[in-house]
Amino acid sequence: MVHLALALVSTVSVPPTQPSPPSPAAPEPSRALMERAIAAAGGSERLERYPVLEWRAKATVHAARTVAIQGRWQVQPPERAVVETTDATGDAASARKMILDGERGWGQRGDQTQPLTPEAVSHERDQFYLYYLMRLVPLRSSEFHLQSLDPDAAGRAGFRVSHPGRRDVDLYFDETGRLARMVTRVAAPGTGREVVEELRLSGTMEAQGIRWPQRIEITWDGRPYFEFELTEFKPLRRVDESIFKGPS
């Protein structure tokens, strides 16, 4: 009875120990870096308000020969884009248009319309997906996995972005939080050969509070592939849907 009484007193007079509330976990380094980059690009509110990006640029294509072009890009990443280009002189006879809409795409030259091959569509989807990552706010989705990386040769912090059905992409940021470099692998159209694609981003164009790289240089396996410099930049809330009706 004494032991029972002591046990009862102990139960009543000594309140059970309450678990301490968990201390807030420190943000994962890659997530913290992502949020810093979003702020440096203009903030999530602005980036989400304008999902379409339009710019005019002068570009150089390094293929079998080097070609200078100019044009207008209207991009609704990850898989919709309209690219209208002419040669560097603006000659109307050189005008071309490429339209990408998900898993279909086509090119136009004058009155002629030509569907893109499946390989070309796949390649363009990989390319325009990179602009999706450059908007940064999609990376908040649980569909993306971010893995911290060691700093690159220039000391820039970075992380790897993985997404089901997409190629991994490494993103590196300068000391201000701005995206400065991207590295991935793509299949070259025509040959299907895997190449290391690197994008170097520099300069700044700003409109509606959104900051976008002014210059993008792309290399394949370390060799120049494509580069362009923006002359105008305009974020948009929506795109003209009639553009994507396209051929049957």
The two structure tokens encoding residue 133: 């990552």
Is 235 inside any structural domain?
Answer: yes
User: Can you list the residues of the chain whose pLDDT is less than 50?
Assistant: 1-26
Q: Is residue 62 one of the residues assigned to a domain?
A: yes
Answer whether residue 1 is part of any domain: no
Location of structure tokens 């701005």: 178
| Domain encompassing residue 127 | 28-239
The pLDDT, as a whole number, for residue 9 is 30
Sign of CA dihedral 198, 201, 206, 209: positive
Residue 4 lies in a domain: no
Number of domains in the chain: 1
Q: Which residues contact 78 (CB under 8 A, 6 or more apart)?
A: 125, 128, 129, 131, 132, 138
Query: 76 vs 3, 61, 148, 224, 240, CA distance in Å?
Result: 76, 22, 28, 26, 11
Give domain status of residue 189, yes or no.
Answer: yes
Distance (Å, rounded) from C-alpha 99 to C-alpha 133? 20
pTM of the predicted structure, to 2 decimals: 0.86
| Domain annotation covers residue 245 | no
User: Is residue 5, in this structure, part of any structural domain at all?
Assistant: no
DSSP for residue 119: H
CATH code of the domain covering residue 178: 2.50.20.10
Residue pLDDT, tens place only, 13-58: 333 334 334 334 445 889 999 999 999 999 999 999 999 999 999 9
Domain-located, residue 19: no
**Would you state the structure tokens that stand for residue 227, as one six-digit string?**
């580069």
Give the per-residue pLDDT at 248: 57
